[in-house]
Chains A and B, each alone.
With several copies, the nearest count.
Chain A
């Protein structure tokens, strides 16, 4: 496992405290008892939760995630924490926010929280997106919950003043999320949906080829769709473009301890396991396997 973490020395460096005496030790990951500020539905499927948190948590970077201790909905307390990408993090306001879809026991419990309630969030966790200052135009392609994960790229790119084109895929137009947020940071937003049958790989490939042709795609950022990821891998290979993908996997510890979240990756032709929580969740686009 240490080979792995070695490979991540940079990403996880701030975590290292070697033999620092207790007095000096400062945790970089905390189980933070945040206070819910808002927890509102944004559409039929998604809710937006904003919480005031510690400075450590508020420093979460795009692509990183938290492990949320979801309150019990009904009698049963979900035992494990639930991973959620940071949707927004504001060190000034000391706030962190999540955009989540109600799936099962944990997210149901999450939906019950109201302003003033306490939510235990552990993080920030994992390796987030990296922006190469050399890039001028980036393209974010996402679907479903993946749109929540990509969203904070909009602000980060603007700060690094890169132009962003966001291709947002959903089943129906009214299920698209994060589009407003992308626009608010001046991104071009292209919405593709199943109901309008614009979300197929072929059409998305057409859109992406156009962006490349227009010189508006130095790098791909994607999350939430294996099919769309494969389209981007193909184009990245063809035009030797950079790319990063945020992966999902069931998690227990979120800190690289348990090895339940491994996926196969192609590292220089060799198929190896990587822990999504620790080596990722953001990986090099070309190393990811569907």
Chain B
């Protein structure tokens, strides 16, 4: 049931005003969801990451479940740019929801040329998935370090006038520095975050559960970790932070906004409850009504930390 309210759900995110803060996480959304929900209710549409090269993706098995989580190593199956422009874009054109294209490339140049080519009417923003291997840095993801993040973001910034969102990896130990580097190089927002590198082994066969040996952990299990990254990044940069990690319901989304997220992305939860994004949206509305919060934007960074609570340096790495 859609709640009729006067709550203002709009949020400003990296150069765009979204009708609400709820959008899909890249790679967990496709036209199949049209059977489940009205895309015009979403704050934005974020497509699966595309690359210039045609890619098949990783060997199977590509997913394995763990309690409250999923490990995936899909890889990035990609049909390339022409297919995206000729088929994907027209498909979403009828919707009046901003279309955000997620892109990836093995080099900074590759990112830039892809962004340039996709700077088109009908594309509302570019999400650069820089959590992918940088072949110029023997496979370390761009987002693992501030320097490489700054370089690729700078080239991206020069290549497009579109709002530029940069998606970070939680596998680094210096996420706030990486977020600062993206901001300095001209990113309009950072997406925090991609999956956490993980592994699972089959006790019957002694083989890795994934064809790729390792994969990315997502789902409820990672929420407390990514929430911390969002909190730290939101305090490190002035540009908006888009929270993404284990959001399954409105309470999760609110926790992220309180920590500093201006908008949120729902990923794996959609696999379990296909209408998850809609129930998150309706739950956010309800929460604001019940708590008499006129604008949902009032929640952004509203976590109540009295200076007295401010922990000493120890909290950077609490000694547990």
A213 interface residue (CB < 8 Å to B)? no
Residue ranges of A at the interface with B (Cβ–Cβ < 8 Å): 1-3, 5-6, 12, 14-22, 25, 27-31, 69, 76-81, 122, 249-250, 252-260, 262, 273, 278
B133 interface residue (CB < 8 Å to A)? no
Which of A6, A29, A79, A250 lies in contact with B272, CB distance below 8 A?
Answer: A79
B111 interface residue (CB < 8 Å to A)? no
B222 interface residue (CB < 8 Å to A)? no
Give A5's nearest chain B residue, CB to CB.
Answer: B31
Is A2 a contact of B91 with CB atoms below 8 Å?
Answer: yes
B69 interface residue (CB < 8 Å to A)? yes
Is B29 a contact of A257 with CB atoms below 8 Å?
Answer: yes
Report the minimal beta-carbon distance from B306 to chain A, rounded to whole angstroms.
Answer: 20
B30 interface residue (CB < 8 Å to A)? yes
Which of B30, B37, B48, B272 lies in contact with A80, CB distance below 8 A?
Answer: B272
- Chain B: interface residue total (CB-CB under 8 A): 47
Is A6 a contact of B87 with CB atoms below 8 Å?
Answer: yes
Report the minimal beta-carbon distance from B29 to chain A, rounded to whole angstroms.
Answer: 6
> 6 shortest A-B CB distances, which residue pairs?
A15-B35, A2-B87, A255-B32, A256-B32, A25-B38, A29-B35
Is A2 a contact of B83 with CB atoms below 8 Å?
Answer: yes
CA distance A31 to B41 in the complex (A): 18
Is B30 a contact of A256 with CB atoms below 8 Å?
Answer: yes
CA distance A76 to B28 in the complex (A): 23
A1 with B79, Cβ < 8 A, contacts A19-B40, A81-B271 known: yes
Is B32 a contact of A79 with CB atoms below 8 Å?
Answer: no
Q: Which residues of B contact A5 (CB under 8 A)?
A: 30-32, 91
- B243-280 vs A, Cβ < 8 Å mask (1 yes, 0 no): 00000000000000000000000000011111100000
CA distance A21 to B41 in the complex (A): 9
CA distance A77 to B248 in the complex (A): 15
Is B274 a contact of A79 with CB atoms below 8 Å?
Answer: no
Report the minimal beta-carbon distance from A255 to chain B, rounded to whole angstroms.
Answer: 4
Q: Which residues of B contact A6 (CB under 8 A)?
A: 87
Which of B33, B79, B273 lies in contact with A257, CB distance below 8 A?
Answer: B33
Give B79's nearest chain A residue, CB to CB.
Answer: A3
Is B57 a contact of A255 with CB atoms below 8 Å?
Answer: no
B34 interface residue (CB < 8 Å to A)? yes
Q: Which residues of A contact B91 (CB under 8 A)?
A: 2, 5
Give A25's nearest chain B residue, CB to CB.
Answer: B38
A257 with B270, Cβ < 8 A, contacts A18-B94, A79-B65, A250-B61 known: yes
Q: Which residues of B contact A16 (CB under 8 A)?
A: 34
CA distance A251 to B96 in the complex (A): 31
- B59-94 vs A, Cβ < 8 Å mask (1 yes, 0 no): 011110111111010100101000100011001001
Which of A15, A25, A77, A249 lies in contact with B32, CB distance below 8 A?
Answer: A15
Q: Which residues of A contact B83 (CB under 8 A)?
A: 2-3
A257 with B95, Cβ < 8 A, contacts A21-B40, A31-B273, A79-B219 known: no
CA distance A250 to B34 in the complex (A): 22
Q: Which residues of A contact B72 (CB under 8 A)?
A: 252, 258, 260
Q: Which residues of B contact A69 (CB under 8 A)?
A: 272
Which of A19, A22, A31 lies in contact with B274, CB distance below 8 A?
Answer: A31
- B150-171 vs A, Cβ < 8 Å mask (1 yes, 0 no): 0000000000000000000000
Give B73's nearest chain A residue, CB to CB.
Answer: A260
A278 with B63, Cβ < 8 A, contacts A22-B38, A79-B69 known: no
Report the minimal beta-carbon distance from B241 to chain A, rounded to whole angstroms.
Answer: 25
Is A252 a contact of B63 with CB atoms below 8 Å?
Answer: yes
A18-B94, A262-B60 known; 16 other A-B pairs, CB under 8 Å? A1-B30, A2-B31, A5-B31, A16-B34, A22-B2, A22-B38, A28-B35, A79-B69, A253-B274, A255-B274, A257-B27, A257-B271, A258-B27, A259-B62, A260-B60, A260-B74
